């Protein structure tokens, strides 16, 4: 008895990938919103630098470090309800940060938001794969840009809300969460229709020889990703406060500098991948890490907001320009454990960087912001050295 198997879709389903990218944008917006709230919480609630950056730690632990666990669960069974549920929980957590009465309650709220973020990513990435058909790279690229754009939107949305309504303005962030959660819930049956019930191609592929897993270079590229994330989270946490305290800018201008950093990072994501396909993964990774220490140190030498914004744009571009490269390298080094590699590179490596950034709050309280910026520049150095130790690309990688 023969079983008819439908052919995979050739192109990307635009409706499906757009809905998933929109949800991705919102949950990542909540992460950018935490960074944007720090200067307001410091100046209006009297949080110390260490107390403020503890919020970054709470978001990091719940959204990134436990993401491999959500990925493992998503690999074992499909949990489509995590799509609307993750968005709703992320919105609830970030929405109440501005109205809770204590620092401890704010930590809990941010941790709840992080759980929503961590729950959404693995299942959404799975369905992005399904709706992309045979053009998975194109679909996943669009899905990733949704997240980058959402991260950059964090300060864009939070700043005017807080300036207009006070910290209670964060409650308005619940509105798009409820809308998107409802949209995702209404789309679940359609998204489910893209799930492959039978996978004859996978069955055939399973008999083909698989390259051996290379754990040493995988550990090295994980370390590079962690150092890169430490630089990125450190900049997110302290760029607004640095511009306000050291350059005398307003709160709005400080968060505008954060927006510049994040938007330039999104552009770097779009550019870095194609460049790595042309010249190889390792050169892009080494080059991006090499330029970060001097660029970040230059922030300490300028007294101009305009020049600082230009520097932040270049720094953001190169910091995130190697993000997709580290993920792809991790997958290539563990060809038989792509799910594990993705979970580590997208979750644990980023989380470790967030832990390092949280520790910088103690440094800022003790010896000042300028030393923090100098330390952030230094964090890129071991990432650069580790990148140099990676195996050389035998040939430029194919797309």
Nearest CA to 113 out of 81, 96, 89, 85 is that of 89
Distance CA 326, CA 117 (A): 21
Q: What is the pLDDT of residue 197?
A: 54
Nearest to 28 by CA among 202, 265, 249, 208: 265
* Confidence at residue 154, expressed as pLDDT on a 0 to 100 scale: 85
- By residue count, the chain amounts to 399
pTM higher than the cut 0.75: no
Which pair of tokens denotes residue 52? Answer: 């403020």
State the Cα–Cα distance between residues 49 and 185, nearest whole angstrom.
39
Q: Hunting for tokens 């800022």 — which residue is that?
A: 364
**What whole-number distance in Å separates Cα of residue 296 and Cα of residue 257?**
14
The whole-number pLDDT of residue 333 equals 84
| Joined tokens for residue 356 | 């390092």
- Alpha carbon 252 to its chain centroid, in Å, reads 23
Structure confidence at residue 112 (pLDDT): 95
Residues of the chain with pLDDT under 70: 1-11, 71-72, 74-76, 78, 133-141, 196-211, 273, 331, 338-340, 342-343, 346, 354, 357-358, 393-399
CB 173 within 8 A of CB 94: yes
Enumerate the CATH 1.20.1250.20 domain ranges in the chain, comma separated. Answer: 11-196, 213-399
**Where are the alpha helices (H) located in the chain, listed in sequence order?**
14-44, 49-60, 67-76, 82-96, 103-131, 136-165, 174-192, 200-205, 215-247, 251-279, 281-298, 305-321, 323-333, 338-343, 349-367, 369-388
* Per-residue three-class SS string for 80-92: CCHHHHHHHHHHH
Burial call 203-233: b when 16+ CB within 10 Å, e when fewer: eeeeeeeeeeeeeebbebbbbbbbbbbbbbb
- Domain 213-399 CATH (choose: 1.20.1250.20, 2.40.50.140, 3.20.20.70, 3.30.2450.30): 1.20.1250.20
The 8 Å CB, 24+ separation contacts for 362-369 are 362/49, 362/50, 364/49, 364/50, 364/53, 364/238, 364/241, 365/48, 365/49, 365/50, 369/238, 369/241, 369/242, 369/245, 369/246
Q: Right CATH number for 11-196 from 1.20.1250.20, 3.40.50.2300, 3.40.80.10, 3.40.50.1460?
A: 1.20.1250.20
Burial, 78: exposed, middle or buried (Cβ in 10 Å; 0-12, 13-18, 19+)? middle
- Cβ of 268: how many Cβ atoms within 10 Å? 25
Report the C-alpha gap between 75 and 78 in whole angstroms.
7
Joined together, the tokens standing for residue 118 give 């961590």
């Amino acid at each position: 008895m023969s079983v008819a198997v439908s052919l995979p879709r050739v192109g990307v389903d635009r409706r499906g990938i757009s809905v998933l990218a929109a949800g991705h944008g919102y949950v990542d917006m909540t992460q950018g919103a935490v960074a944007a709230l720090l200067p307001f919480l410091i100046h209006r609630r009297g949080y110390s630098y260490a107390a403020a950056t503890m919020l970054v730690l709470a978001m990091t632990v719940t959204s990134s470090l436990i993401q491999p666990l959500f990925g493992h669960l998503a690999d074992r069974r499909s949990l489509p309800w995590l799509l609307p549920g993750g968005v709703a929980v992320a919105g609830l957590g970030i929405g109440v940060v501005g109205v809770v009465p204590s620092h401890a309650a704010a930590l809990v709220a941010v941790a709840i938001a992080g759980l929503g973020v961590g729950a959404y990513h693995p299942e959404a990435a799975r369905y992005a794969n399904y709706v992309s058909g045979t053009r998975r790279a194109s679909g996943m690229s669009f899905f990733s840009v949704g997240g980058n754009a959402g991260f950059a939107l964090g300060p864009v949305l939070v700043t005017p809300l807080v300036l207009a309504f006070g910290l209670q303005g964060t409650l308005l962030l619940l509105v798009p969460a409820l809308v998107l959660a409802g949209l995702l819930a209404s789309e679940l049956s359609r998204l489910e229709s893209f799930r492959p019930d039978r996978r004859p191609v996978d069955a055939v592929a399973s008999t083909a020889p698989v390259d051996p897993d290379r754990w040493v270079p995988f550990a090295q590229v994980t370390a590079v990703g962690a150092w890169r994330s430490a630089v990125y989270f450190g900049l997110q946490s302290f760029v607004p406060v640095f511009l306000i305290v050291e350059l005398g800018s307003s709160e709005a201008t400080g968060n505008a500098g954060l927006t510049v950093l994040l938007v330039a990072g999104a552009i770097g994501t779009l550019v870095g991948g194609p460049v790595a396909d042309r010249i190889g993964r390792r050169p892009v990774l080494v080059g991006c890490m090499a330029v970060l220490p001097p660029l970040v140190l230059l922030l300490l030498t300028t007294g101009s907001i305009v020049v600082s914004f230009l520097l932040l744009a270049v720094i953001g571009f190169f910091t995130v320009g190697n993000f997709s490269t580290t993920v792809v390298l991790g997958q290539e080094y563990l060809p038989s454990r792509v799910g594990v590699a993705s979970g580590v590179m997208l979750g644990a490596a980023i989380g470790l960087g967030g832990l390092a950034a949280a520790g910088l709050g103690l440094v800022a309280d003790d010896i000042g912001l300028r030393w923090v910026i100098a330390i952030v520049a230094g964090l890129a150095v071991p990432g650069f050295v580790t990148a140099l130790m990676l195996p050389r690309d035998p040939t430029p990688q194919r797309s």
